[in-house]
Amino acid sequence: MIKKNDEKISFITAVGANGEGIVKEEGCVIFLPFAFLGEKVRYKVLKVKKNIAFGKVLEVLVPAEERVKPVCPLFQKCGGCQLQHIKYTEQLKMKRKTVADCFHKIAGIDPEVQPTVRADNPYAYRNKLQIPVADRDGETVIGFYAENTHRVIRTDKCPIHPDWAEKIIAVFNEYIKEFHIKGYREDTNEGDLRHIVVRAVNEQFIVTMVCLKENIAGTDFLYDRLKDLFGKVTLYLNVNDARTNVIFGKTFRLIGGESTYVASMGKIRYEFGVQSFLQVNAEMSEKMYKKVVELAAPDEDSVVIDAFSGAGLMTAMLAQKAKKAYGVEIVPEAVKCADSLARFNNLSDKMENICGKCEDVLPALIPTLKREFGKVTLVFDPPRKGVEANVLSAASEAGVDKIVYVSCNPATLARDVGLLVGSLKEVDGAIVKSENFTPLFTLQYVRPFDFFPQTRHVESVVLLERQTAGMNT
């Protein structure tokens, strides 16, 4: 029997969904972060739960060929990256397997998964920095959380962010020192500053300091320092005094700069603000949007609904080719940005941006457009939790012709695809496998995109097409 604190030597025989090595020993599956397939490791068992255990590698006795030296000195301490010790080409293969495994295990289907689209820049790719500020024994510390904890590890720079991140952290450290700003204490819900959030596009920066109260010392000093460094920069103060993991509170106060900026992707000019969603990897989102348009293949006879449309970039690319594209998005600021985008690009007649929840809007919108226009394509790009069941059934019942589903969570993607294809069904609120089913949609294409190199995360794009009568998956 495997027990806590056992020390053992074994070979890694599999890799888990989070990139961790897996050992099977004495009837127990042991997960070992930062170990790779084929490696011989000495490890210590930290936790045992029935026949599953979690351990820590003490020494890599025989390293895998795919092992490389991590770039970041904080790797394995900070929870941001999980795969820096693995060659980039191998990371791509792992992500392809993760997606295939989710379809197999969750939806009971085995589509051909295309090779992962690689990032040209596997480092310095993030255009968004989101970093906590904590009080550690009276000292204010800016840094990332250690894996699975809220313990902040001091960080001055991070290789998956461009150089600007290091400069902004340095300015905040100077400001904290100058004005004796206190970091956040989760245990007492006290402090001045709890998060710094930065969005950078085309050399324009929106910086938000998330504070416990609205009035905090030195904000003009901070804005001036940021402006000296970056030129086009906006500083917001967001107030969040709730005990919560949600980063932003409701109130934003503009300290200095423009409230939104205009940027461009290819030939499309778009607006972005502090609250509207933008993909974190511009290079990969451009590649992914092109693939979505190719798969949706809109033409002058078809309308497209871009569900979960953010600031409207993808809606615009679809609208350029379709009879009309409808974006549906919950955040009002994002919808305003999408309206500006439509004007900038002369798409106001071809693009309609609806502010609302997809689960409220789509069950009526899909059948209405289907009746009016005949050919309707749906594009989904939901948050990690996936698409609500009533939206999936509306898509099935109204006779949508095609669905392109973009997802940052292969598990909820597999679940939703299973429900659309019919390999899964809902029984009394639970999702179960369905043995004999007549497929409504067939899964035609699955392609992972590496939006998040060095981390376990993966984006995917899939195409589902309505099944014609009599065909089987």
Ligand X SMILES: C[S@@+](CC[C@H](N)C(=O)[O-])C[C@H]1O[C@@H](n2cnc3c(N)ncnc32)[C@H](O)[C@@H]1O
**What are the residues binding ligand X (CB under 6 A)?**
277-279, 308-310, 313-314, 328-331, 334, 357-359, 381-383
Nearer to ligand X, 334 or 341 (CB): 334
Shortest separation between residue 80's beta carbon and ligand X, angstroms: 19
Using only the alpha carbons of the chain, give its radius of gyration.
24
- Count of CB atoms situated within 10 Å of the CB of 36: 24
Distance of CA 389 to the CA centre of its chain: 21
For the chain, the straight-line distance linking the first and the last C-alpha, in angstroms and rounded, comes to 43
355 is catalytic: no
Shortest separation between residue 153's beta carbon and ligand X, angstroms: 27
Shortest separation between residue 306's beta carbon and ligand X, angstroms: 7
Query: What is the C-alpha to C-alpha distance for residues 201 and 128, in angstroms, rounded to an integer?
Result: 9
- In the bound state, the residue with its beta carbon closest to ligand X is 310
Q: From the candidates 72, 81, 158, 408, which is the catalytic residue?
A: 408
DSSP H or E segment with residue 102: helix 88-102
Nearer to ligand X, 111 or 273 (CB): 273
Nearer to ligand X, 246 or 471 (CB): 246
What is the residue type of 361?
V
Shortest separation between residue 390's beta carbon and ligand X, angstroms: 11
Nearer to ligand X, 189 or 264 (CB): 264
What is the arrangement of strands in the sheet containing 193-201, beginning at the earlier edge strand?
Answer: 152-154, 139-145, 128-136, 193-201, 204-211, 233-239, 251-256
Shortest separation between residue 310's beta carbon and ligand X, angstroms: 3
Classify each residue of 264-295 as buried b or exposed e, where b means 16 or more C-beta atoms within 10 Å of its C-beta: ebeebebbbbbbbbbbbbbebbebbbebbbeb
Q: Which residue has the tokens 């416990």?
A: 212
Nearer to ligand X, 219 or 309 (CB): 309
Residues noted as catalytic: 408
